[in-house]
Structure formats: C-alpha cells, structure tokens
A and B are shown apart, each in its own frame.
Chain A
C-alpha cells in the first residue's frame, strides 16, 4: 500500500509568482484535502476534492485553487504569492463511502514553501 506522496519537498518563490504543488493519494483513497501549516500552528483546512470537484473550502482567498484528477491525484495552485503564504503545505487523502464513516486522513510529508 503506497502512502500519500507530495512534490516538490521544498520550494522557494518570489512574491507575486505562482506555484503548483502536487499530491498522489494513498491507494484506495478517493478524497484529497489540502492544509496549510504555518510555523508554530496547527494545519488549516484549505479545501477538499471528491470525485474531481471541490467539496468544501476553508477561509482562503480565490488565488488558492485546486484540481483532482481521475486517478485521485491532486494539485494545489497559488497565484500572486504573498510573504504570508510561506508555510508547510500538507496533502491528505481518505476514503469516503456511502453509508460509512469517513476514514481518518492520512497525510503526506508536505511541501515547504518559502516566499521571499
């Protein structure tokens, strides 16, 4: 069973640039969620994708967008980067099924984004 994998592991960007982060979900999982973890804080929910559609969004501006592909992998795109976007971006997958409780989220190792 392969776990959640994310790429790249580290990234340095300049303010105003755009970035794309990638995630492959754990095998057998059909839902992908993205979280932002600033230093010294718990992860904050960005959004979730289920069946290639956004299924809930946290308090993040529209310049944060995403995609889920038919193989359940996902991308997080951030436009017009700001200094405060510097954080660890975590991808997590889970299995959502009809008539059953959601499985716990399983996280990848994250992408460390630094905006200068």
Chain B
C-alpha cells in the first residue's frame, strides 16, 4: 500500500527563519510528488516533481526530489507570517488517478 510520511508534525519559527519540511514515501511505480499549502480549506498547489523535474523553485519556496532516498524536501527561506499553514505532501503512483497524502506539517511563523 502506498504511504507518505511527513516530518516534523508541527513547527514554530520566527519571521525570517528558514525552514525545511520533509516527506518520505513508499509507492508502486512512482509518477510524481506534489506539495500543497492548506491555510483554511482548499489545498493550493505549490510544486509537482517528477523523474524529469526533480527541483523546483518559486520565490522563497523550493523543493527537491531524491528518487534514490524516496524523499523530498520543501524549503522556505525568509519566512513570513503568511507562510503559516499546513503543508501537505502527496504522491501519485501506479494508477495515476489518485493522490496519496501524508498527514501534513503544521507550520506557524511568529512575528
């Protein structure tokens, strides 16, 4: 059964800090790994990483996929209070029609 584990479960940092969120996975026939940010309700898409695109960057956020270690990290530099959210990692495997999510990392950025 496909599985995603995220760590840490929660994190409190101060504005300006850099954070690294971790995601490890077990999946049959890996297709892609996705990161989402969930503030109140709708998870919003951040990045999709595949075998042909193992590193993505957008502003202060960046993500790397390590296919050998079956893991990914999400980095946020110069954190702001608006970064406070739940960060969800998900993988797409053999069937290609579903995301398997981890439980998420709760990030709180204090001013």
Given contacts A107-B42, A110-B42, contact A48 B97 (CB under 8 A): yes
Q: Are B97 and A110 in contact (CB under 8 A)?
A: no
0/1 interface trace, chain A 69-112, chain B, CB 8 Å (1 if under): 00000000000000000001010000000000110111111100
- What chain A residues lie within 8 Å of B34 (beta carbons)? 104-105
Residue in A42, A58, A88, A102 whose CB lies within 8 Å of B102? A42
Interface size on A, residues (CB 8 A): 26
Considering the complex, which residues of chain B in the window 41-56 have a beta carbon less than 8 Å from any beta carbon of chain A? Answer: 41-45, 48, 50
Residue in A43, A48, A104 whose CB lies within 8 Å of B48? A104
Given contacts A45-B98, A45-B99, A45-B100, contact A104 B45 (CB under 8 A): yes
Q: Which of B41, B88, B96 has the most CB of A within 10 A?
A: B41
Considering the complex, which residues of chain A in the window 1-60 have a beta carbon less than 8 Å from any beta carbon of chain B? Answer: 4, 31, 33, 35, 40-45, 48, 50, 55-56, 58
Given contacts A101-B32, A104-B34, A104-B48, contact A43 B97 (CB under 8 A): no
Give, as a whole number of angstroms, the nearest-CB distance from A9 to chain B.
Answer: 8
B64 at the interface (CB under 8 A from A): no
0/1 interface trace, chain B 14-48, chain A, CB 8 Å (1 if under): 00000000000000000110101000111111001
Between A and B, 10 residue pairs with Cβ closer than 8 Å are A40-B103, A41-B103, A44-B101, A48-B97, A55-B97, A105-B45, A105-B99, A106-B45, A107-B44, A109-B42
- What chain A residues lie within 8 Å of B101 (beta carbons)? 35, 42-44
B76 at the interface (CB under 8 A from A): no
- What chain B residues lie within 8 Å of A56 (beta carbons)? 95, 97-98
Give, as a whole number of angstroms, the nearest-CB distance from A48 to chain B.
Answer: 5
